[in-house]
């Protein structure tokens, strides 16, 4: 963690760095939100739809598939009629919960300052 303190030189360039690819995957509109819901408990598809009502069925399906492909979510199909599917975090997915929690805390603590900065910027742009 010390390598990321302000003013230090990074030993790994960010261009071509795998960090960018990972951040692209987990920082989209829905991934973090779905991971945090699944951190509470495994859920079925329709449970997730109810928890996140503004996500479309198509986008929920795509995001869950991508999270499964990346090894963050495990999909379990139960042999019922009709088949039921449950989604749960893998160990790798669970390892994101603490860093996401810190980011959520930071956002909660600083959202008003960001809103103020935006308003100030927008006011200067309009002048």
Domain harbouring 25, CATH code: 1.10.10.10
Of 22, 24, 46, 29, give the one whose Cα is nearest residue 95.
Answer: 22
- Distance (Å, rounded) from C-alpha 49 to C-alpha 54? 8
Asked if residue 62 is part of any domain, the answer here is yes
Joined tokens for residue 66: 């991508």
Of 68, 61, 79, 74, give the one whose Cα is nearest residue 25.
Answer: 68
Q: What is the pLDDT of residues 95-115, one digit of tens each?
A: 999 999 999 999 999 999 999
pLDDT at 26 over 90: no
Asked if residue 5 is part of any domain, the answer here is no
- Give the total number of structural domains in the chain: 1
Asked if residue 2 is part of any domain, the answer here is no
Using pLDDT thresholds of 50, 70 and 90, give the confidence band for residue 2: low
Structural domain containing residue 118: 18-126
Its pTM stands at 0.80
What's phi and psi for 46, nearest 5 deg? -70, -30
Q: What is the pLDDT of residues 48-99, one digit of tens each?
A: 999 999 999 999 999 999 999 999 999 999 999 988 999 999 999 999 999 9
Asked if residue 98 is part of any domain, the answer here is yes
């Amino acid at each position: 963690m010390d390598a990321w303190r302000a003013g230090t030189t990074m030993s790994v360039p960010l261009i071509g760095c795998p960090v960018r690819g990972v951040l692209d995957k987990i920082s989209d509109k829905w991934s973090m939100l779905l991971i945090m819901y699944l951190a509470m408990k495994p859920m079925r598809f329709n449970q997730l739809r109810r928890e996140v009502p503004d996500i479309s069925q198509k986008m929920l399906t795509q995001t869950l598939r991508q999270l499964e492909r990346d090894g963050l979510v495990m999909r379990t199909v139960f042999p019922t009629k009709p088949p039921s599917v449950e989604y749960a975090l893998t160990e790798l997915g669970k390892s994101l919960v603490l860093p996401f929690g810190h980011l959520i805390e930071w956002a909660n603590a600083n959202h008003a300052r960001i809103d103020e900065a935006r308003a100030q910027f927008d006011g200067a742009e309009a002048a």
